[in-house]
């Protein structure tokens, strides 16, 4: 009898962990602007598409999803390895991906 309860509790724990992971994975954290994904805003910080010192292979963990204002399309947003200030961002839509940098960094370069 105790084995059944332990097994049932283990199954419930696994299901709860998977549910939590699924909710976190599909959380929308940013808004995408422009038909060519020129700008992404996350927590009032603007990221613009441009040349960065990183590539798509430098992506780190998934931070959430970005959606267009009308909700028609959604893309995955990733942090960059070694970027502790969160100045760069990798966005992937399907098989395509683009690198973004904070808008204030891009303005300093110009």
Each residue's pLDDT tens digit, 38-73: 899 998 999 998 888 888 889 888 888 898 888 778
Range 31-38 average pLDDT: 86
State the pLDDT confidence band at 77, using cuts at 50, 70 and 90: very high
pTM of the model: 0.74
- In terms of Cβ atoms closer than 10 Å to its own Cβ (0-12, 13-18, 19+), residue 53 is exposed
Residue-level pLDDT at 25: 65
- Rg of the chain over CA atoms, in angstroms? 18
Quote the mean pLDDT of the chain. 85
In whole angstroms, give the CA distance from residue 96 to residue 17. Answer: 30
Range 69-83 average pLDDT: 86
State the pLDDT confidence band at 110, using cuts at 50, 70 and 90: low
State the pLDDT confidence band at 29, using cuts at 50, 70 and 90: confident
> How many CB atoms sit inside 10 A of residue 1's CB?
5
């Amino acid at each position: 009898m105790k084995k059944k309860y332990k097994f049932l509790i283990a199954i419930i724990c696994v299901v709860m962990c998977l549910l939590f992971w699924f909710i976190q994975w599909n959380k929308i954290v940013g808004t995408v602007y422009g038909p060519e994904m020129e700008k992404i805003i996350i927590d009032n910080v603007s990221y613009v598409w441009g040349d960065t010192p990183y590539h798509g292979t430098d992506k780190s963990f998934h931070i959430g999803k970005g959606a267009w204002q009308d909700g028609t399309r959604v893309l995955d947003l990733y942090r960059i390895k070694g970027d502790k200030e969160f100045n760069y961002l990798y966005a992937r839509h399907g098989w395509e991906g683009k690198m973004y940098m904070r808008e204030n960094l891009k303005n300093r370069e110009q």
